[in-house]
């Protein structure tokens, strides 16, 4: 499967001819000041899902008004939930419990949001509601067997395209039964899908994982009054529980903060504070990895919000050093590795990443996209099936293709800080899925970036 996926993305890279949004980034500079990144995307998805299933009115602040999270919001509106958008990330969700949800009359479109599709599949399967879930070209190529297999074991009638990719067709009408399941990969989306199906299944559902993954589902369900048990790498839930409305604040997304953490950490003279960043223990790997590389990152004003740890991060730039990334930190920073590849390119010495094969089945094959792009910029990088070997040193300017992946696009933009010449990043439209306003915020912090859309 991994080889086939890699070959698929090799072909896509060679056939790609982007004509959309481009970033033009001047070389050099530093980052400074005080910023706040958009709300956490993972938590934004879940806040809408759980508020919609709850009994009563849930108020959400800090909701990420990016395309991915908005697709989840629209999905629950299609299923009959009244959601008031009050601007500036504030929502009022008028939940009527699971009885207030009905089967959508039209297919639900998730755009680029794998989290939205996989978690919603668990919700719908548990409720026995029929639906068709679709997505854009990128999402339509992502593997869904990892959730379909356990859902079928629970009794769901669910099908995919012939190659195990979307659209997902949930035929509904069946009461699911609890299972005890060991996931073949470390994936919070898979774990969450099974737990959400188990929430409305008969019996006690148990999920075992091979490694630590983010636990936003478990934490937020508890905030909505659901008893979720966790013990090491095992999470379990009793079916038939009801959600109770609550109010919650979504902290800044550490995945979005990662670009600025890397940008400031690798440039001596940079002093940047990123306020209100979520530091969930299952998500903070990027901070710990950068510190192992010698980064100076302070955690100030630590506090708790909605069951999540939050702090203000002050980054003082320095010369980073190459490391062998500890395998136990890989799953805690899986979405941040495109940015960490750039940090490695700036470091003295060699950085080795292993155990990160999950990067090959994200919005793109992120190992391949980052390796090909950094290689074009003169970086000595060797990609491997589960990671990369990156030798830090001089980086040139040039034109690189993000292949429509928001995280690779923003990572390449930050690479201009250590480049000798300007960098142009192609195919950046999907940055809006997770980080609306990236160019404006980055410009204010000192990155000399602009955007354009070529005519024709």
Identify the H or E element spanning 93.
Answer: strand 91-96
Tokens 């190992």, located at residue: 367
End-to-end CA distance of the chain: 38
Q: Give CA separation, 255 vs 136, 140, 233, 287, 442, in Å.
A: 22, 23, 23, 11, 15
Query: Could you give phi then psi for residue 76, rounded to 5 degrees?
Result: -75, -25
Active site residue 335: yes
Q: Which of 215, 335, 383, 401 is catalytic?
A: 335
d(CA 403, CA 425) in angstroms, rounded, equals 10
Structure-derived torsion over alpha carbons of residues 59, 52, 242, 114, reported in degrees to the nearest 10: -110
Q: Which residues contact 99 (CB under 8 A, 6 or more apart)?
A: none
Two structure tokens written together for 223: 């905030």
Buried b (16+ CB within 10 A) or exposed e, 9-43: beebbeebebeebbbbbbbebbbbeebbbbbbbbb
d(CA 98, CA 62) in angstroms, rounded, equals 25
Query: Could you give phi then psi for residue 391, rounded to 5 degrees?
Result: -100, 120
Two structure tokens written together for 213: 């993954």
DSSP 8-state secondary structure symbol assigned to residue 80: T
Buried b (16+ CB within 10 A) or exposed e, 109-138: bbbbbbbbbbbbbbbbbbbbbebebbbbeb
d(CA 40, CA 396) in angstroms, rounded, equals 33
Contact assessment for residue 129 and residue 52, using Cβ atoms and an 8 Å cutoff: no
Two structure tokens written together for 235: 């999470």
DSSP 8-state secondary structure symbol assigned to residue 284: T
Q: Which residues are catalytic?
A: 335
């Amino acid at each position: 499967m991994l080889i086939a996926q890699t070959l698929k993305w090799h072909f896509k890279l060679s056939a790609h001819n982007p004509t959309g949004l481009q970033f033009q980034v001047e070389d050099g500079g530093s980052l400074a000041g005080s910023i706040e990144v958009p709300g956490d995307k993972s938590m934004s998805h879940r806040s809408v899902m759980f508020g919609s299933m709850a009994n009563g009115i849930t108020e959400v602040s800090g909701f990420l008004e990016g395309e991915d999270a908005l697709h989840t919001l629209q999905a629950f509106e299609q299923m009959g939930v009244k959601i008031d958008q009050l601007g500036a990330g504030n929502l009022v969700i008028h939940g009527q419990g699971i009885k207030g949800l009905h089967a959508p009359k039209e297919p639900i479109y998730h755009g680029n949001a794998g989290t939205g599709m996989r978690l919603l599949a668990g919700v719908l399967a548990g409720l026995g509601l029929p639906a068709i879930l679709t997505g854009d070209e990128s999402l339509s190529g992502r593997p869904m067997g990892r959730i379909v297999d356990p859902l079928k074991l629970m009794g769901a009638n669910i099908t995919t395209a012939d190659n195990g990719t979307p659209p997902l067709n949930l035929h509904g009408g069946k009461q699911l039964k609890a299972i005890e399941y060991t996931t073949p990969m470390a994936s919070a989306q898979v774990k969450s899908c099974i737990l959400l199906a188990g929430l409305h299944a008969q019996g006690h559902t148990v999920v075992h994982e091979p490694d630590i993954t983010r636990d936003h589902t478990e934490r937020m369900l508890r905030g909505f009054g659901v008893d979720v048990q966790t013990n090491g790498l095992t999470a379990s839930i009793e079916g038939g529980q009801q959600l109770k409305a609550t109010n919650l604040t979504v902290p800044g997304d550490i995945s979005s903060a990662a670009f600025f953490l890397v940008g400031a950490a690798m440039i001596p003279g940079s002093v940047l504070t990123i306020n209100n960043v979520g530091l969930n223990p299952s998500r903070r790997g990027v901070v710990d990895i950068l510190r192992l590389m010698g980064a100076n990152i302070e955690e100030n004003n630590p506090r708790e919000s909605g069951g999540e740890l939050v702090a203000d991060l002050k980054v003082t730039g320095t010369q980073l050093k190459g490391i062998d990334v500890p395998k136990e930190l890989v799953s805690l920073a899986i979405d941040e590795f495109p940015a960490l590849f750039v940090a490695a390119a700036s470091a003295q010495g060699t950085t080795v990443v292993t155990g990160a094969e999950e990067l090959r089945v994200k919005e793109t094959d992120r190992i391949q996209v980052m390796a090909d792009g950094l290689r074009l910029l003169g970086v000595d990088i060797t990609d491997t099936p589960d990671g990369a070997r990156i030798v830090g040193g001089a980086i040139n300017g040039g034109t690189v293709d993000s292949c429509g992946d928001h995280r690779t696009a923003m990572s390449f933009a930050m690479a201009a800080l250590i480049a000798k010449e300007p960098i142009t990043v192609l195919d950046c439209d999907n940055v809006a899925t997770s980080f609306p306003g990236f160019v404006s915020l980055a410009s204010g912090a000192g990155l000399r970036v602009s955007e354009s859309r070529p005519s024709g």
